[in-house]
Amino acid sequence: MKKRLIVITLITLAAAAAVAWSSARPRVEPERGRYLVAVFGCGDCHTPLKLGKNGPEPDLTRFLSGHPEQMGALPAAKLPGPWMWAGAATNTAFTGPWGISYAANLTPDRNTGLGIWTEEMFVKAIRSGRHMGTSREILPPMPWPAIRNASDEDLKSMFAYLRSIAPVANHVPDAQVAAEGGAR
Ligand code: HEC
Q: Are 166 and 109 in contact (CB under 8 A)?
A: no
CA of 172 to the centre of ligand 1 (A): 12
Can you tell me the mean pLDDT for 58-76? 97
Looking at per-residue pLDDT, the higher value among 24 and 50 belongs to 50
Report the pLDDT value the prediction gives residue 184, as an integer from 0 to 100: 43
Query: Which of 147, 152, 74, 54 has the alpha carbon at shortest distance from 106?
Result: 147
Cis upstream peptide for 141 (omega within 30°): yes
Residues framing ligand 1 (Cβ under 6 A) = 37, 40-42, 44-46, 94, 101-104, 106, 125, 131-132, 138-139, 141-143, 147, 158, 175
Amino acid at 69: E
pLDDT digits (tens, 9 = 90+) for 28-52: 899 999 999 999 999 999 999 999 9
pLDDT digits (tens, 9 = 90+) for 113-160: 999 999 999 999 999 999 999 999 999 999 999 999 999 999 999 999
CA of 142 to the centre of ligand 1 (A): 4
Residue 42: φ, ψ to 5°: -55, -35
Helix (H) / strand (E) element for 176: namely strand 176-177
Instruction: State the burial class of residue 131 (Cβ atoms within 10 Å of its Cβ: 0-12, 13-18, 19+).
Output: middle
Report the pLDDT value the prediction gives residue 34, as an integer from 0 to 100: 98
Q: Give the chain's end-to-end CA distance (angstroms, integer).
A: 80
Break the chain into its structural domains and give their ranges: 28-177
- Please state, in angstroms and as integers, the Cα–Cα distance from residue 66 to each residue in 12, 57, 150, 166, 174, following that order: 51, 15, 22, 13, 12
Query: Which of 105, 124, 108 has the alpha carbon at shortest distance from 43?
Result: 105
What gap in Å lies between CA 62 and CA 167, rounded to an integer?
9
